Amino acid sequence: MSDSHDPAAGEAPEPVRITDLDLADLSASVRKLIDQSQEQARVLDSLAADPPPIPLPGPDFTAFGAGPAPSGGGEPLFIMAMEGQAYEAELDSLTDWVDDLLLPVYGREVTSSAPWCPWWDQHPEAVARLHALWLAWQQHIDPEAGPSGPATWHRDHLDHTMAQLRAPNGPFAACTTNPARLAHRLLPGPKPTTDPVPTAGHTLAA
């Protein structure tokens, strides 16, 4: 005859007893399942999000993407129209861009046909051209410039500026032509004159 409980007999079933050890194991298993579930949720969330950008070797281009924006008060944007502390602050920012991005990426070898001056910030023409190049950089790497913005910057601004600055007869013509022999000299330019403009067929006396 079976020893199983007979409901018709009205007998109460034996209670299931769980030892403290079994209860601890059960609790630990539940906690483990909860932790695994939370970890899976975190993994799914990270997969659903946009992947982080992959760092590339070389200078950080994004660090120079947004220079000081012109204020609404009509302050000058071009460095040659600035003076005093405003000029110095703008020159410091320009120097960071030149030293950390322009030269490491586009600073080709210094030769007699492609001079360079480590003290370019003392050449007014170089300051003016490089600052204009930097302003164009900020404009053309802006997302609103579209995918062709950087290519336009290279074609319309970078190539022309560097060709002018590093030409054999450019502002650095008397400066460094050999990296082992640093040199710097400002070449004199034409002198302004207050003499009257000569008439046709006449020249000014020396």
Cβ(167)–Cβ(176) below 8 Å? no
User: What's the pLDDT band for 189 if we cut at 50, 70, 90?
Assistant: confident
pLDDT in tens, 20-62: 666 677 677 777 777 777 777 777 676 666 555 555 455 555 5
Phi-psi region of 174 (alpha: psi -120 to 50; beta: other; left: phi over 0): alpha
pLDDT in tens, 95-136: 999 999 999 999 999 999 999 999 999 999 999 999 999 999
pTM score, whole prediction: 0.64
pLDDT of residue 206 exceeding 60, the answer is: no
Residue 40 has what pLDDT?
73
Return the DSSP state at 98: I
- Across the range 195-206, mean pLDDT stands at 60
More confident residue, 85 or 203: 85
∠ CA 51-56-59 to the nearest 5 degrees? 130
Residue 59, C-beta contacts closer than 8 angstroms, at least 6 positions apart: 100, 101, 104, 105
- So where are the chain's domains? 85-187
Token pair belonging to 123? 């050449």
Residue 63 has what pLDDT?
58
Token pair belonging to 72? 């609404």
Residue 22 has what pLDDT?
64
- Across the range 15-20, mean pLDDT stands at 59
Residue 118 has what pLDDT?
96
Q: CB count, 10 Å around CB of 125?
A: 17
Residue 134 has what pLDDT?
97
pLDDT in tens, 142-163: 999 999 999 999 999 999 999 9
pLDDT of residue 70 exceeding 50, the answer is: no
User: What's the pLDDT band for 205 if we cut at 50, 70, 90?
Assistant: low
